[in-house]
Structure 1
Amino acid sequence: MSILIALPAGYLLDLLLGDPHSLPHPVQFIGFLIARGEKLLRRLWPRREYLAGAVLTVGVTAISLLLPWGLLLLAGSWGFWPQVALETVFCYQILATKSLATESRRVYRPLVRGDLPGARKYLSWIVGRDTERLDEAHITRAVIETIAENTSDGVVAPIFYLAIGGAPLGFLYKAINTLDSMIGYKNDRYLLFGRFAAKLDDLANFLPAILSAWLMIAASALCRLDSAGARRIYRRDRKNHASPNSARTEAVAAGALQVQLAGDAYYFGRLVAKPTIGDDMRPVTPADIITAIRLLYTTSALAFLLLWGSRLLATAAMLYF
């Protein structure tokens, strides 16, 4: 029951405050567990990388689920409102609408001033690709792709899991997502070690990614963008990515903005061939970043209204019947 109050309260806190870098964040703790666990398990099982990675994934996700569950249980023993207050803080920490917009604007500002080194620097904070060689158009595409992908990973999927299972399930999802971002790479170091985490992330994001795409299509109509193009490119290019989920929202964004995204990129000094997403109907411009942010906020609002509203109706139906 507390999630019915905590989710809207946490959602509003995220929109108002974002993620203050001066305060500790639970995802930092999850990252600490992953880094330390990797070192330990690689020493224990140096020749059994897949098993070591699977054990790490199970351990980190279990802690991420059980720790907030225990803290909420403890808070609930003091009363309903202490539990609501703690879960509100948890929901606020799990959601990332404003922080995604803030980090994207941090790249946009030097970009419009023609400060490419500054734009590359801030872009490197939010993407995994190499940024040293990118020109204005490639920087802009990378930001739009990041906004689109993280609209699902950082906004819609967390709301989805919070609405279903409250903060414990929300933190479980954040752990899965963080594991994938840290060890889910298909390179020599993580191909086996991170495979279990990467597959689990694909599974956890499958339904939220589909939901995100269709909500973003609806949002593109509300934002007076090319919603027909968004729907067409989504159906055509939603599988143009190594991940089964990442291209879905990127395809919608490309269609809505009438630009082409993705394509080849450098990762750790190595050129990775990637298919393009969308049609090259016009040159991409830095102003498209602001449009993508507007699309992010609208999609976020639709996701909150749909998922929180569904949880509210389901709870009311259970109480009535």
Structure 2
Amino acid sequence: MILLHFIPLTVGFFLDLLIGDPHFLPHPVRLMGKAIELGEELMRKLFPDTERGLLAAGAVLGILIPLLTGAVSGGILLAAYRLNLWLGLFLETIMCYQILAVKSLKKESMKVFDELKRGDLAGAREKVSMIVGRDTEHLNEEQVAKAAVETVAENTSDGTVAPMLFMAVGGAPLGFFYKAVNTLDSMVGYKNDRYLFFGRFSAKLDDVLNFIPARISALLMVIASMLLGMDWRGAYRIFRRDRFNHASPNSAQTEAVCAGALGIRLAGDAWYFGKLYPKKTIGDGTRPVSWEDIRSANRLLYGTAFLCLGVCLVIGAIMILIMMGVG
């Protein structure tokens, strides 16, 4: 019974590719976001507004939200499977589908592609502002394209490979646990005045959970670049050289592969909340970043996603063999 989650994972993967994330349907990540907002408000009231108080408040929130998310999803699935096997499989399939974000990432980034292709820089800035955390109102065409490519590259790990690996190990509940940590980091894991201390625990926990998946993602992306006829040698070379050119120990892993595969330069200084943050660059930049690179980054995303599904199924086969041996 414990290995049944590989069926929902596989079906959920293809459901995500087919229908993505329709905005008119309720989504658990939006509920997580609301819970984080309410939890932050409560924690700030319960703990003193000091460095130690904010660190403690953020840690409590960073522990409670993922645990509650995993426990609730796990409880629902446990009850469903006890009632009826098919009901359990159906609910877990829907959960796995909702955890993944392959098609939605492509769809949102391709909106930026479409605006740049039309020559509408203002529209492209607006569309890219929906998928990045940086200030976008003064970006030029190349900077907008670069921001979109970086988002696709980074989220190839965060939104695809990492949740799939967690679901392969522990089903939808562990996938939701990971998704809650990732959502916390995206909402409170900033190094600005408001979240420098409050968001530190969530940011560090996200770094820990993504440490192995980010590196698996990068290696799968190198393989995908080879299968897609891209510069896989350049991808591996830039990965080896620039994979730590980021404040996060994980974000540059896939960005470096993407930059090398496409022959472009990513990262560099960026504005956040009206403040310029100096950043190292990633890649050699043999040519300027263009809107066509957004489409190429999405090809890498899809290729990596399918390779990851294969890895997950191999994990499942190994687990079955181990259990048969124990039995």
Range class of TM-score, shorter chain = over 0.9
In the alignment, the residues of structure 1 paired with residue 252 and residue 85 of structure 2 have an alpha-carbon distance, to the nearest angstrom, of 41
In the alignment, the residues of structure 2 paired with residue 133 and residue 244 of structure 1 have an alpha-carbon distance, to the nearest angstrom, of 28
- Please state how far the C-alpha of 1:315 moved relative to its aligned partner: 1.6
Instruction: Report the equivalent of 1:130.
Output: 135
Work out whether 1:228 is the aligned partner of 2:230: no
- Please state how far the C-alpha of 1:285 moved relative to its aligned partner: 1.3
Instruction: Report the equivalent of 2:17.
Output: 15
Instruction: Report the equivalent of 2:304.
Output: 299
TM-score by length of 2: 0.97
Instruction: Report the equivalent of 2:295.
Output: 290
- Please state how far the C-alpha of 1:320 moved relative to its aligned partner: 4.6
Instruction: Report the equivalent of 2:148.
Output: 143
> Contact conserved, 1:4 with 1:312, CA < 8 A, in 2?
no
1:272 is aligned, of 277, 287, 290, to 277
> Contact conserved, 1:265 with 1:272, CA < 8 A, in 2?
yes
Identical amino acids, percent of aligned pairs: 55
2:220 is aligned, of 198, 212, 215, to 215
- Please state how far the C-alpha of 1:318 moved relative to its aligned partner: 1.2
Aligned residue-pair number: 321
In the alignment, the residues of structure 1 paired with residue 108 and residue 128 of structure 2 have an alpha-carbon distance, to the nearest angstrom, of 8
Segments ≥4 residues shifted beyond 6 Å: none
Instruction: Report the equivalent of 1:160.
Output: 165
> Contact conserved, 1:7 with 1:91, CA < 8 A, in 2?
yes
- Aligned partner of residue 266 in structure 1, secondary structure: strand
> Contact conserved, 1:2 with 1:80, CA < 8 A, in 2?
no
1:120 is aligned, of 122, 125, 141, to 125
Deviations 1:255-285 (A, max 9, x none): 0000000101110111110010000111221
In the alignment, the residues of structure 2 paired with residue 58 and residue 291 of structure 1 have an alpha-carbon distance, to the nearest angstrom, of 37
2:39 is aligned, of 25, 37, 40, to 37
Deviations 1:194-250 (A, max 9, x none): 101010000000000000000000000011111000000001000000000000000
> Contact conserved, 1:262 with 1:275, CA < 8 A, in 2?
yes
- Aligned partner of residue 271 in structure 2, secondary structure: strand
Structure 2: state its 5+ residue gaps.
none
> Contact conserved, 1:14 with 1:97, CA < 8 A, in 2?
yes
For residue 140 of structure 1, what is the amino acid of its counterpart? A
Aligned alpha-carbon RMSD (Å): 0.9
- Aligned partner of residue 283 in structure 1, secondary structure: coil
- Please state how far the C-alpha of 1:2 moved relative to its aligned partner: 2.1
Instruction: Report the equivalent of 2:5.
Output: 3
Within a 5 Å distance, the mapping from 1:176-255 to structure 2 comes to: 176-255=181-260
For residue 139 of structure 2, what is the amino acid of its counterpart? L
Structure 1: state its 5+ residue gaps.
none
For residue 47 of structure 2, what is the amino acid of its counterpart? W
Deviations 1:48-89 (A, max 9, x none): 100000011111011111000000011012121111100000
In the alignment, the residues of structure 1 paired with residue 282 and residue 242 of structure 2 have an alpha-carbon distance, to the nearest angstrom, of 6
